[in-house]
Amino acid sequence: MAYIGFENIDKYYGKNHVLKGINLEIKQGDFVTLLGPSGCGKSTLLRCLAGLETTSGGKIILDGEDITEKDPKDRNIGMVFQHYSLFPNMTVKENLSFGLKLQKLPANEIEKRVKDSIEMVELIGKENEYPNNLSGGQQQRVALARGIVMRPKVLLLDEPLSAIDAKLRKSLQTSIREIHKEMGLTSVFVTHDQDEAMVMSDVIHLFHDGKIEQSGDPVDIYTKPVTPFAAGFIGNYNILNPAQMEKLTGKKWDGDVAIRPETVIISREAVTSAESYKMQGVILDRVTRGNVLRYKIQVNGIEVQSDVLFRSASMYEVGETAYMALADHNCVRL
């Protein structure tokens, strides 16, 4: 049985139908990501789980119990937001012990839990600092410690890294994964960033307009998009209609096809592999993206993007003619 279950969750804000019959099951111990563009309902679903928002219909189950109507403070759920929302007039230690004191835990237990959490987020030595004296990354570590200090059943993280610069973000992604594992948490993470979702998650649920468009592990989501929306949101796919595919390959196609740029082969010699569609085109554009070169290549009036590793042998000039090939198994039917 699922550890967290959403059954037919509806949510309206006035006439705005924000969650449209969400059915979702989450396994205990999984790191699960709700991925999707801004405004598609990710935060609303998370807030319903935390009890910060009521549902308009449906049922939420946690660990075998119907918590739909339960008071937020009795749900035993930890939450971390994009904005750290720490108490500015309290030290790190005071921020962390605040909720534990409300629960009237014994002083030595509070002391131990606060110490453990500070260790876990690697903030030893900062116990007596005020939030204003900490960097953004450190403040988010405090917020993370506050999320776990209550020993929650479930940790919810709503775009916690969106305000943090790229380099620090990577190290916090790693910290969050490690804490998740070490504490045996069940975590639900929200992001609009596909790369972050790929790095962090056991399971990704791709949201679109109040519904779940596709669910799967990162490899499935990346390699087998099931709809044009999924292919458009993930992995910079080329999306081609049947007429375009016919111009490219010379055969008839039934529906739209998604092709990942890194599966489009460009070559100076004619490609010989048996399973491929082979063609010739002209290089229209080349962009350097770190260790990858992204080409735009035109074949029979159709433009296709191709990503190749940056090597001297893979350098083509704009205007150059090149062979191109596509394996049939890399043409994903939508």
Closer to ligand ADP by Cβ: residue 14 or 125: 14
41 binds ligand ADP (CB under 6 A): yes
40 binding partner (options Mg ion, ligand ADP, none; Cβ < 5 to 8 Å by kind)? ligand ADP
42 binds ligand ADP (CB under 6 A): yes
Among left, alpha and beta (phi > 0; psi -120 to 50; other), residue 116 is: alpha
Which residue of the chain is nearest Mg ion when measured via CB?
Answer: 43
User: Is 2 in a helix, a strand, or coil?
Assistant: coil
Query: Could you tell me which stretch among 42-50, 240-248, 256-264, 315-323 binds Mg ion (CB under 5 A)?
Result: 42-50
Residue of 38, 108, 272, 288 interacting with ligand ADP (CB under 6 A): 38
> Measured from the CB of residue 19, what is the shortest distance to ligand ADP in angstroms?
8
Query: Could you tell me which stretch among 34-42, 225-233, 267-275, 324-332 binds ligand ADP (CB under 6 A)?
Result: 34-42
145 binds ligand ADP (CB under 6 A): no
Binding mask 44-73 for ligand ADP (x = CB under 6 A): x-----------------------------
Query: Could you tell me which stretch among 35-43, 85-93, 195-203, 308-316 binds ligand ADP (CB under 6 A)?
Result: 35-43
Q: Identify the CA nearest to 252 among candidates 261, 239, 243.
A: 243
187 binds Mg ion (CB under 5 A): no
Closer to Mg ion by Cβ: residue 113 or 205: 205
Q: Which of residues 6-25 bind ligand ADP (CB under 6 A)?
A: 13, 16, 18
DSSP per position, 100-130: HHHTT--HHHHHHHHHHHHHHTT-TT-TT--
Whole-angstrom CA distances from 260 to 12, 192, 237, 332 are: 37, 20, 5, 9
Residue of 5, 31, 43, 86 interacting with ligand ADP (CB under 6 A): 43
> Measured from the CB of residue 197, what is the shortest distance to ligand ADP in angstroms?
13
Whole-angstrom CA distances from 100 to 6, 109, 128, 146, 255 are: 29, 9, 17, 10, 57
43 binds Mg ion (CB under 5 A): yes
Longest dimension (CA), the chain: 75
Alpha helices in the chain (DSSP H): 42-50, 92-102, 107-120, 136-149, 166-182, 194-200, 218-223, 228-233, 242-249
Query: Could you tell me which stretch among 3-11, 35-43, 109-117, 241-249 binds Mg ion (CB under 5 A)?
Result: 35-43
Closer to ligand ADP by Cβ: residue 227 or 298: 227
Range 215-220 contact pairs with CB under 8 angstroms and sequence separation of 24 or more: 215/24
Beta 31-35 vs 186-191: how paired, if at all?
A: parallel
Residue of 22, 26, 35, 40 interacting with ligand ADP (CB under 6 A): 40
78 binding partner (options ligand ADP, Mg ion, none; Cβ < 5 to 8 Å by kind)? none
Q: Which helix (H) or strand (E) holds 327?
A: strand 321-327
105, two tokens: 């835990």
Across the beta sheet with 77-80, the strand order is 77-80, 154-158, 186-191, 31-35, 203-208, 211-216
Q: What residues make contact with ligand ADP under the rule CB under 6 A?
A: 13, 16, 18, 36, 38-44
